[in-house]
């Protein structure tokens, strides 16, 4: 088989009209004062791309451009390959197949984000050194203290009681697995709330303590937060959010997205939108604590109900000009569903 093409010798930009011939496993190039032959195995062939001409790159630096697709396919076949590129080229030249490829790509990316990324984030979170988690938690707490929190208004005796209660929860659940620490704060903007930061720091607001009727209820909330720390939920969420941002930045080439994502890291930690599975894991830890103490899940169910009521009241205030801050508990599964699960209904 033969076809017409343009030959460039690699030393000048002069174009020579030539005839390209496939002769067994060799390529012959013939034109005015040009007679060349080279084994196909030593020639590189450009991948077909739309209607762009194909190119043959010769061992001596020369190049031939030609438009005959059948010739390109035979040349690829002569090199012992070509099936993959022929398939790609076929998809490129079909609008229907291009849409199918786009749909498959979107489905693949979404599937990875939905199923693959959580698995990756879980493994990565457990691989992060404890010192790194602790440093990240400390930085986040500093930002929160400036933006959302004010010092707790509890008296010294009550603070001491709560620290003792927290130490009992930790000893019951995790012992000395990591340096857990309880921080007491007040926050008119967050209201009745609790946060678990990377590294083992748990924050409890005065507003939550105020609506609790017993210390067992507070202990159940603390155990729930210890569950978040135990399973590295905050780090997993940060990794997942960061990975999605990096993926988008990689696909779009938008390096500024990656920079913005890094700057938003503390916000990701505070506004952690834990998945339902993560909340169930943390709820299970609260039930584990209550069971070990010989208590029923009713204490946890009771405080969840009061937190839900406080949240509903705050939401009403937000709609009429309140803070508008996303409430931590708003991302949890429905309270009724959690309580029913706690009670085994």
Delimit the domains of the chain by residue range: 2-80, 108-343
* Distance of alpha carbon 272 from alpha carbon 192, whole angstroms: 16
Residue 80 predicted with pLDDT over 60: yes
Q: What is the structure's pLDDT at 163? A: 97
Closest CA to 224 of 165, 158, 169: 169
Residue 328 predicted with pLDDT over 70: no
Q: What is the structure's pLDDT at 198? A: 85
Q: Which CATH number is associated with domain 2-80? A: 2.30.29.30
Please report, rounded to a whole number, the percentage of residues in the chain having pLDDT higher than 90.
Answer: 27
> CB–CB of 208/222 below 8 Å?
no
Residue 326 predicted with pLDDT over 70: no
Residue 161 predicted with pLDDT over 80: yes
Q: In what order do the strands lie in the sheet with 26-31?
A: 34-39, 26-31, 16-23, 2-8, 63-66, 54-57, 44-45
The model's pLDDT over 209-239, given as tens digits with 9 standing for 90+, comes to 999 999 999 999 999 999 999 888 888 877 7
For residue 30, give every residue at least 6 positions away whose Cβ sits within 8 Å of its Cβ, in sequence order, or none. Answer: 18, 19, 21, 36
User: Judging by beta carbons within 10 Å of its beta carbon (0-12, 13-18, 19+), is residue 155 exposed, middle or buried?
Assistant: exposed
Residue in this structure with the two tokens 């909330």, named with its chain if needed: 221
267-303 in b/e form (b: 16+ CB < 10 A) is: ebbbebebbeebbbbbbbbbbebbeeeeeebebbbbb
Q: What is the chain's mean pLDDT, rounded?
A: 80
The model's pLDDT over 188-198, given as tens digits with 9 standing for 90+, comes to 888 999 999 88
Q: What is the structure's pLDDT at 27? A: 85
Q: What is the mean pLDDT of residues 85-105?
A: 75
């Amino acid at each position: 088989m033969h076809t017409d093409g343009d030959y460039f010798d690699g030393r000048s930009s002069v174009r020579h009209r030539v005839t390209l011939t496939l002769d067994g496993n060799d390529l012959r190039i013939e034109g005015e004062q040009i007679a060349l032959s080279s084994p196909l195995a030593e020639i590189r062939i450009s991948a077909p791309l739309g209607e762009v001409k194909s190119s043959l790159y010769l061992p001596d630096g020369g190049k031939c451009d030609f438009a005959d697709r059948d010739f390109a396919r035979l040349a690829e076949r002569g090199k012992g390959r070509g099936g993959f590129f022929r398939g790609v080229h076929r998809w490129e030249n079909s609008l229907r197949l291009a849409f199918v490829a786009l749909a498959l790509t979107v489905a693949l990316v979404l599937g990875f984000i939905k199923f693959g990324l959580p698995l990756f984030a879980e493994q990565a979170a457990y691989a992060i050194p404890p010192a790194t988690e602790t440093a990240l938690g400390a930085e986040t707490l500093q930002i929160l203290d400036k933006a959302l929190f004010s010092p707790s208004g509890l008296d010294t005796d009550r603070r001491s009681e709560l620290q003792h209660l927290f130490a009992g929860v930790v000893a019951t659940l995790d012992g000395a697995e990591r340096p857990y620490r309880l921080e007491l704060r007040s926050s008119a903007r967050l209201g009745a709330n609790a946060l678990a930061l990377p590294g083992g720091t748990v924050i409890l607001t005065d507003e939550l303590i105020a609506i609790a009727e017993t210390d067992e209820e507070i202990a159940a909330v603390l155990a729930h937060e210890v569950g978040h720390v135990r399973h590295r939920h905050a780090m997993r969420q940060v990794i997942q959010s960061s990975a999605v941002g990096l993926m988008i930045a990689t696909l779009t080439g938008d390096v500024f997205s990656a920079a913005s994502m890094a700057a938003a890291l503390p916000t990701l930690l505070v506004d952690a939108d834990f998945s339902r599975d993560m909340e169930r894991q943390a709820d299970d830890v609260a039930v584990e604590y209550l069971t070990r103490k010989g208590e029923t899940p009713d204490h946890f169910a009771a405080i969840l109900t009061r937190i839900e009521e406080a949240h509903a009241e705050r939401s009403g205030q937000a709609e009429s000009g309140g803070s508008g801050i996303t409430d931590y508990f708003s991302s949890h599964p429905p309270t009724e569903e959690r309580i029913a699960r706690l009670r085994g209904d």
